A = this chain, B = another copy of it.
Amino acid sequence: MPMIHHHISALRAAIQPYRAAQRIALVPTMGNLHDGHLELVNIAKQHADIVVVSIFVNPTQFGVGEDFDSYPRTLDEDVAKLATVGADYVFAPNIDEMYPVLPPPTTVRAGAITEQLCGKTRPTHFDGVGIVVSKLFNIVQPNVAIFGQKDYQQLAIIKQLVRDLSYSIEIIGAPIVRAADGLALSSRNQYLSESERQTAPILQQELQYLAKRIGGNHQPLDVLLAASRQRITSAGFVIDYLDIKTAQLDSLKTDGSSVNFNENQQDLVILVAAWLGRARLLDNQLVTANTV
């Protein structure tokens, strides 16, 4: 079983002896672990000797009226699952330990990249991510940290944070883990009713459909996107966004026409966020230049 620490000082004391000669990995989570999280640990173990998994439902990344109170907390089950994949330490602080002053007066803001996509409808979310990730980096001082690619924008923001704040931490994005029917695993999937759960894989199907058609000489992008949005909405979703960006999350410089990959040679990403009942689902699909 992994060792559990609830206090910063105890965790730091426990991992300090490894710093001289071994690599430490951090896997930040909000708990309620599923196979996607366990895959983060598997990847962490390939890049480090010691794996620290943090479990903290971070209040500062939830907005007013969001699901902070109802977010599932399942520490005992989480620890049992982490034992099966060989995590070494669990850091499970309470709110006071992480935020002696809440909200903290200090902000860590990654700038323009946070203002698009999820940042438009969750305007305080990435400030909360920025501060909690900075804190976890400073507490654990890992050599490597693993984040899921399902939260594509979050991963891009954290890479920028590491560059801009000179953290000497290797950031690894882990591929999305999906259910057999294609739905990206997420703790929030349990908010879905049985019939919503049947509907949910449509998001991923639309991403795959678009991925096959955005290169070459298919329809103009805005026509493709409009048709996808129509189908997703008709299936019962309320779309937050469905958009195509460069892999760095820059906007495409197009006049709405299809993208010629042979010309631009850029990797793209299709991103979607949509509500289905109580669940806000995220998904994305990378489209690399040499695959179309």
Using CB atoms and an 8 Å cutoff, list the residues of chain A in contact with chain B.
Answer: 8, 12, 17, 19-21, 98, 100-101, 104-113, 130-131, 134-139, 141, 160-161, 163-168
Closest partner residue, chain B, to A163 (CB atom): B100
A106 in contact with B160 given A138-B165, A166-B139 (CB within 8 Å) = yes
From B19, B100, B131, A20 is in contact (CB under 8 Å) with B19
Closest partner residue, chain B, to A100 (CB atom): B163
Pairwise interchain contact A139-B168, C-beta atoms closer than 8 A = yes
Closest partner residue, chain B, to A130 (CB atom): B106
Which chain B residues border A136 with CB–CB below 8 Å?
Answer: 166
Given A134-B166, A141-B141, 4 extra CB contacts under 8 A: A20-B20, A98-B166, A105-B112, A106-B130
Point out which of A19, A110, A165, A166 has the most chain B C-beta atoms below 10 A from its C-beta: A166
Point out which of A107, A113, A138 has the most chain B C-beta atoms below 10 A from its C-beta: A138
A169 to chain B, nearest CB (A): 9
A165 in contact with B111 given A19-B20, A20-B19 (CB within 8 Å) = no
A109 in contact with B110 given A138-B168, A166-B98 (CB within 8 Å) = no
A154 to chain B, nearest CB (A): 14
Pairwise interchain contact B134-A165, C-beta atoms closer than 8 A = yes
A138 to B108, CA, bound (A): 14
Which chain B residues border A134 with CB–CB below 8 Å?
Answer: 134, 165-166
Pairwise interchain contact A106-B105, C-beta atoms closer than 8 A = no
Pairwise interchain contact B100-A111, C-beta atoms closer than 8 A = no
Pairwise interchain contact A138-B166, C-beta atoms closer than 8 A = yes
14 examples of A-B residue contacts, CB within 8 angstroms: A8-B166, A8-B168, A12-B168, A20-B21, A105-B111, A106-B108, A106-B110, A106-B111, A134-B166, A135-B165, A137-B138, A138-B165, A138-B168, A139-B168
Which chain B residues border A101 with CB–CB below 8 Å?
Answer: 163-164
A135 to B168, CA, bound (A): 10
A65 to chain B, nearest CB (A): 24
A168 to B164, CA, bound (A): 20
Which chain B residues border A20 with CB–CB below 8 Å?
Answer: 17, 19-21
A161 in contact with B106 given A20-B20, A168-B12, A168-B138 (CB within 8 Å) = yes
Which chain B residues border A12 with CB–CB below 8 Å?
Answer: 168
Which chain B residues border A98 with CB–CB below 8 Å?
Answer: 166
A249 to chain B, nearest CB (A): 12
